[in-house]
Amino acid sequence: GENVEQHPSTLSVQEGDSAVIKCTYSDSASNYFPWYKQELGKGPQLIIDIRSNVGEKKDQRIAVTLNKTAKHFSLHITETQPEDSAVYFCAASFNDYKLSFGAGTTVTVRA
Amino acid sequence: DTGVSQDPRHKITKRGQNVTFRCDPISEHNRLYWYRQTLGQGPEFLTYFQNEAQLEKSRLLSDRFSAERPKGSFSTLEIQRTEQGDSAMYLCASSLGQPLMNTEAFFGQGTRLTVV
């Protein structure tokens, strides 16, 4: 099955700086890569996703890049704000229903 | 629609007892998923339904676990003879599934189970 590794496990950034989270996956058949944000006491919420036919996708302050050859993808958050503090999960899927998640990155934005 | 709803939000039970959780998906979603999340880890896939049919079960889902989705609407997850290792957050998600294409999975807030 698919194995997703995520780094770093914790990330502390100054407000206004950028945050980068990196993930690698094992199954070359994976073709869908979503990123979820989970706040305390809540379920994961999709913030951006990318499919294997695209190398980069951007939505306001959030961007995701995908390198299929190297089997890694990254989340970039620019101009971080206190409300960006949360746990972020990457995931990968090689079929149309099952997501394999990374272990998560706890992001803390310092005011 | 207020999104995916799970009940209860918290459950404390004694080892050996049975527990049942309920999930109400977004009304037009044909797919429903159960995931388990332990502290400091990402969610792990347990099972999913396409309408009322349960199409895949993870090996994490032992014989003590059973899930149903009668009539393709709400779903229940039952754990029999609970063990301390069952303590986790149980997440339900739903999506408008399309063949050969992932679509956004919307997660509920989860049911946190503590087995004492």
- Specify the pLDDT at position A104: 98
Residue (of B55, B58, B57, B49) closest to B31 by Cα position: B49
**How does residue B102 score in pLDDT terms, banded at 50, 70 and 90?**
confident
Residue A92 touches chain B, beta carbons under 8 Å: no
Please tell me which residue, A94 or A9, carries the higher pLDDT value: A9
Least confident of A61-65, A104-108, B93-97: B93-97
Q: What is the pLDDT of residues A26-85, one digit of tens each?
A: 999 999 999 999 999 899 999 999 998 889 999 999 999 999 999 999 999 999 999 999
- By C-alpha distance, the chain B residue nearest A89 is B42
Of A32, A89, A102, Cβ closest to residue B102: A32
- Both tokens of residue B92? 């339900």
Detail the DSSP E strand segments found in chain A: 4-7, 10-14, 19-25, 32-38, 45-51, 56-59, 62-67, 72-77, 86-92, 100-101, 105-110
Phi/psi of residue A10, nearest 5 degrees: -135, 150
Buried b (16+ CB within 10 A) or exposed e, B3-19: ebebeeeebebeeeeeb
Read off the DSSP letter of residue A96. S
Rounded to whole angstroms, the Cα distance separating B57 from B43 reads 15
Amino acid at A1: G
Contact A96 B33 (CB under 8 A): no
Q: What is the pLDDT of residues B33-71, one digit of tens each?
A: 999 999 999 999 999 999 999 999 999 889 999 999 998
Read off the DSSP letter of residue A26. S
Q: Please say if the pLDDT value at position B7 is more than 60.
A: yes
Residue A23 touches chain B, beta carbons under 8 Å: no
Residue B110 near residue B37, CB atoms below 8 Å: yes
